[in-house]
Structures are given as structure tokens and as C-alpha cells.
């Protein structure tokens, strides 16, 4: 079982900030911004390369959660960045789809 599936199953600890039937959101272990939360579907999907039609509703829930987290954490107005890395060149290190929400400082563009 992958590390994020273990978080979904509450087998390893995480600071959970949002949790419903489809998705869970928790603070990144190594935050890259004052706010850094990972939002994941509870059902294991390795990467965007594996997404199928039947995943659409659960993946849509990632954005519903992102909005809720941004509002709860007080960054909805100041802004935030949503990132989903896919594969080696993007720097994906955990093979369970996750949407990063980063906020609390000005971001640069383009990303490195
Ligand atoms: P990626 O590089 O795959 O886009 O992002 C993976 C993220 O997961 C990284 O930001 C990393 O800090 C975070 N991460 C890896 N292992 C754990 C863990 O066990 N718990 C938490 N909360 N975050 C983790
Ligand atoms: Zn998984």
C-alpha cells in the first residue's frame, strides 16, 4: 500500500485539515510555503497518466476541497497556487495523485 493510502487509512499520522467520503487533505511534511496542504482522492490513482472517465467526480472533489481549505486557512483572497506534478520531469515523488495547495507568500512564475 502506498504512503498516501496509509494516510487515507489513518495508519500513519498526518495533520488532516479536510476529510470526506472521496478526498482527504493534510499538511505537507516538508512545507514549501507558509501554507502547504496536499489534497488527494481516497481511492488510489497513481498519476494523471492513469486517470479514467470514472475518476472524474472524485477528482472534481479535489477542487471543492481546495476552495474549502483556502477559505478555512484565510488565503482565498490573497491567492494560492494549485500544483499537480506528473512524472519524473515534473518532480512527482509520491505515486498517488495529489493536488498541492501552496499559499502565504508571493509565488514566482514560471516555476523552476
Ligand atoms: P510530489 O513531489 O510528488 O509532487 O509531492 C509529494 C509531497 O509529499 C512532497 O511535498 C512531500 O513533502 C510530501 N510527503 C511525502 N511523504 C509524506 C508523508 O509521509 N506525509 C506528509 N504529510 N507529506 C509527505
Ligand atoms: Zn495510494
The pLDDT tens digits for 78-105 are: 999 999 999 999 999 999 999 999 999 9
Q: Is residue 112 part of a domain?
A: no
**pLDDT for residue 29:** 98
Average pLDDT for 17-40: 98
Give the range of the structural domain holding residue 37, as residue numbers without chain letter.
3-103
What ligand 1 atom has the least distance to the C-alpha of 15?
Answer: 22
Q: Which residues line ligand 1 (CB under 6 A)?
A: 3, 14, 26-30, 38, 85, 91-94
Continuous segment of H or E residues that includes residue 67: helix 56-72
The pLDDT tens digits for 57-75 are: 999 999 999 999 999 999 9
Mean pLDDT of the chain: 98
Q: Is residue 62 part of a domain?
A: yes
We report the CATH number of the domain holding residue 48 as 3.30.428.10
Annotated active-site residue in 44, 89, 98, 100: 98
Per-residue pLDDT at 15 exceeds 90? yes
Q: Confirm whether 36 is a catalytic residue.
A: no
Q: Is residue 26 part of a domain?
A: yes
**pLDDT for residue 112:** 85
Q: Is residue 109 part of a domain?
A: no
**pLDDT for residue 95:** 98
Q: Is residue 111 part of a domain?
A: no
Q: How many domains does the chain have?
A: 1
What ligand 1 atom has the least distance to the C-alpha of 3?
Answer: 19
| CA dist list (Å): 104 to 46, 51, 73, 77 | 28, 30, 10, 11
Amino acid at each position: 500500500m502506498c504512503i498516501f493510502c496509509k494516510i487515507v487509512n489513518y495508519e500513519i499520522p498526518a495533520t488532516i485539515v479536510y476529510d470526506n467520503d472521496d478526498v482527504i487533505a493534510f499538511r505537507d511534511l516538508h512545507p514549501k510555503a507558509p501554507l502547504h496542504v496536499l489534497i488527494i482522492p481516497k481511492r488510489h490513482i497513481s498519476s494523471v497518466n492513469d486517470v479514467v472517465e470514472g475518476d472524474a467526480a472524485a477528482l472534481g472533489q479535489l477542487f471543492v476541497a481546495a476552495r474549502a481549505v483556502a477559505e478555512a486557512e484565510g488565503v482565498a483572497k490573497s491567492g494560492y497556487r494549485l500544483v499537480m506534478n506528473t512524472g519524473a520531469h515534473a518532480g512527482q515523488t509520491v505515486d498517488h495523485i495529489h493536488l498541492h495547495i501552496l499559499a502565504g507568500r508571493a509565488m514566482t512564475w514560471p516555476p523552476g
